[in-house]
Amino acid sequence: MTRFFHNLTPGQLVGFLAGLQILILVTLPYAFSSAPPIDVVEGLVWAPHWLIGTYKHPPLPSWIIEVSVLITRDVIFGPFLASQISVAITYGLVFLLGRLLMDPVRAAAGTALIAASFYFTVPTIEFNHNVIQLPLWAGTIFIYALLRKTPTSWSTWILFGFICGLGFYAKYSFVLLIGVLLLANLVEPSMRRVWFSFH
């Protein structure tokens, strides 16, 4: 077993961690659940209508719940799986962000440390707006970090705009992250110059 881990690259270790979490936090809750969690029930009520928005939350989680149920044909298993896939994508994005800032081993260690956080384990069993925010926040910060390296890349700016738009469909409070990144954009000289360099 030790040899198995020794032969894995840091990226593969992160993938193994994500796969293990998917296995445990999908199969165990599914085995002991007779009904979906309450937030999933609410999503299931909204999902078939494909609403553009509601008074309470934006509709992205409901859309994902509907797609997960259509694919798995199970109102309990589908959302459990969607939730852990969201967490796994978050781990991948955090690792990629870490790779921009440090060596692969430290990036993998940092990713493993966030996996020990309460917010990446127990609450993720219930697929909701907070869970889908995880990969969107991580992805937005990762893309912003890419922009800092290549601030005049149109394709990266388009990707940044796309993920910001998707973030608004996850939870309205996503505007806080956008506000902070825009402020950072104005404060940092290398990023501020970008606004005057596009033609």
Helix, strand and coil percent figures for the chain, each rounded to 5:
75, 0, 25
User: In this predicted model, what pLDDT tens digit does every residue of 107-148 receive, in sequence order?
Assistant: 999 999 998 899 999 999 999 999 999 999 999 999 999 998
Decide if 53 contacts 170 (C-beta within 8 A).
Answer: no
Indicate if the pLDDT at residue 198 is higher than 80. Answer: no
Stretch 54-63: mean pLDDT: 88
Domain ranges of the chain: 2-196
Q: Who wins on pLDDT, 77 or 116? A: 77
How far is residue 188's CA from residue 199's CA, in Å, rounded to a whole number?
21
How far is residue 175's CA from residue 23's CA, in Å, rounded to a whole number?
33
Q: Report pLDDT for 185.
A: 86
Using 50, 70 and 90 to split pLDDT, how confident is the model at 2?
low
Indicate if the pLDDT at residue 199 is higher than 60. Answer: no
How far is residue 94's CA from residue 161's CA, in Å, rounded to a whole number?
19
How far is residue 76's CA from residue 89's CA, in Å, rounded to a whole number?
21
Q: Is 94 exposed, middle or buried (0-12, 13-18, 19+ CB in 10 A)?
A: buried
Q: Is residue 103 classed as helix, strand or coil in its secondary structure?
A: coil
Stretch 66-91: mean pLDDT: 96
Residue % of the chain over a pLDDT of 70: 95
Tokens standing for 155? 């394709």
Q: Report pLDDT for 3.
A: 66
Q: Report pLDDT for 5.
A: 62
User: In this predicted model, what pLDDT tens digit does every residue of 19-40 receive, in sequence order?
Assistant: 999 999 999 999 999 999 999 9
Average pLDDT, the chain: 91
Tokens standing for 25? 């936090």
Q: How far is CA 86 from CA 2, 80, 105, in A?
A: 29, 10, 23
For the chain, how big is the Rg over CA atoms in Å?
Answer: 19
Q: Is residue 107 classed as helix, strand or coil in its secondary structure?
A: helix
Decide if 22 contacts 81 (C-beta within 8 A).
Answer: yes
Indicate if the pLDDT at residue 7 is higher than 80. Answer: no
How far is residue 95's CA from residue 141's CA, in Å, rounded to a whole number?
12
Tokens standing for 163? 């993920």
